[in-house]
Amino acid sequence: MMEAIRNFCIIAHIDHGKSTLADRMMEMTGTVEKRDMKSQLLDSMDLEREKGITIKLAPVRMKYKDIDLNLIDTPGHVDFSYEVSRSLQACEGAVLVVDASQGIQAQTLANVYLAMEQDLTIIPVLNKVDLPAADVPRVSKQVINLLGCDESDIIHISAKTGQNVDQVLEAIVERIPAPKGQPHDPTRALIFDSYYDDYRGVILYVRVVDGQIKKGESIHMMATGANGLALEVGHLSPGMIPDPSLDTGEIGYIVTNLKTTREARVGDTVTLKKYIG
């Protein structure tokens, strides 16, 4: 089952077209109906839409050729490197998006080095190649120097028009490895984001490393020692879609009965209460 999963994020400097690429991917995979599309769909906070930047990361699951593609959208702004680092921990690969008219920016470099430290497979993408100001040879050289890749590894796209975005989806399936994990081991899930919902309580975004979490099971936070219930589990596509369980290698959400995010901090490990003493 894990063979049919790819977990990846998109690394890009602010305004290099990351959210637009995510929109095109969701459109091409039929994750979102064309009539429901609005630009920067994963940027749900009012401030994000107003300023056109990504602050909060939002995971989304897309289906492409019977493969589940789990995208964790990451912030491109300099102040959110911690958000980026925890996203990378939940992935096996990263799509590096570089504006063909601007080249690689300093903050992008920092995030690429983070991805390299995590040993992620990096897929280089030049965006906005259709613009008159695009300097593909110069920016390609920068990418080759940074990653040590071949020129043929770099995909030239226009996220705005959708040109060659299908090649990015193909590369994710072919180049990024499937997640590893032990389905029969005690449950371990990494919390890479958590937030409080006024109506539903604390909601965790997790990557299941080993085992599984079923709806209704008692859960335990390894670092804070807090206990709770998995009231609902599922994936985002991009709205919440409940599932019977979250299995090894999957990325999804857990609705809990916890009262505060202090009980379930980012970077903590969720396990099942039955495995604790």
142 and 205 assigned to the same domain: no
Boundary-marking domain end, from 146, 175, 204:
175
pLDDT at 40: 46
204 part of a folded domain: yes
Boundary-marking domain end, from 123, 144, 175:
175
Per-residue pLDDT of the chain (277 residues), as tens digits, is 789 999 999 888 877 788 889 889 988 999 876 655 555 454 444 543 454 444 455 789 999 999 999 998 766 555 666 767 777 889 999 999 999 999 998 878 888 998 999 999 999 999 999 999 999 999 999 999 999 999 999 999 999 999 999 999 999 999 999 999 999 999 999 998 888 888 899 999 999 999 999 999 999 999 999 999 999 999 998 889 999 999 999 999 999 999 999 999 888 999 999 998 6
Contact 235, 229 (CB under 8 A): no
Bridge partners (DSSP) listed for residue 206? 191, 252
Question: Which tokens sit at 192?
Answer: 């890479």
Bridge partners (DSSP) listed for residue 255? 203, 232
Contact 27, 34 (CB under 8 A): yes
229 part of a folded domain: yes
Q: Per the structure, how many domains does the chain have?
A: 2
What is the Rg, in whole angstroms, of the alpha carbon atoms belonging to the chain? Answer: 19
Strands 67-73 and 59-64: antiparallel
pLDDT at 44: 47
183 part of a folded domain: no
Angstrom distance (rounded) from CA 208 to CA 249? 5
DSSP 222-261: TTT--EEEEEEEEEESSSEEEESEE-TT-EEEEEE--S-G
CATH code (residue 19): 3.40.50.300
For residue 145, give the 3-state DSSP assignment.
helix
40 and 126 assigned to the same domain: yes
pLDDT at 37: 54
pLDDT at 213: 97
Question: What residues have CB less than 8 Å from 54, skipping those under 6 apart?
Answer: 18, 19, 40, 42, 43, 48, 73, 74, 75, 76, 77
DSSP 181-206: --TTSPPEEEEEEEEEETTTEEEEEE
**201 backbone φψ class: left, alpha, beta (φ>0; ψ -120 to 50):** left
23 and 120 assigned to the same domain: yes
DSSP 155-171: EE-BTTTTBTHHHHHHH
Contact 20, 106 (CB under 8 A): no
pLDDT at 54: 41
pLDDT at 47: 43
CATH code (residue 229): 2.40.30.10
User: How many CA atoms lie less than 13 Å away from 3 in the CB half-sphere?
Assistant: 1
Angstrom distance (rounded) from CA 2 to CA 22? 23
pLDDT at 247: 97
Residue 257: give the domain boundaries: 188-275
0.85 surpassed by pTM: yes
pLDDT at 51: 46
pLDDT at 48: 39
104 and 135 assigned to the same domain: yes
Question: Which tokens sit at 23?
Answer: 């929109």
24 and 135 assigned to the same domain: yes
182 part of a folded domain: no
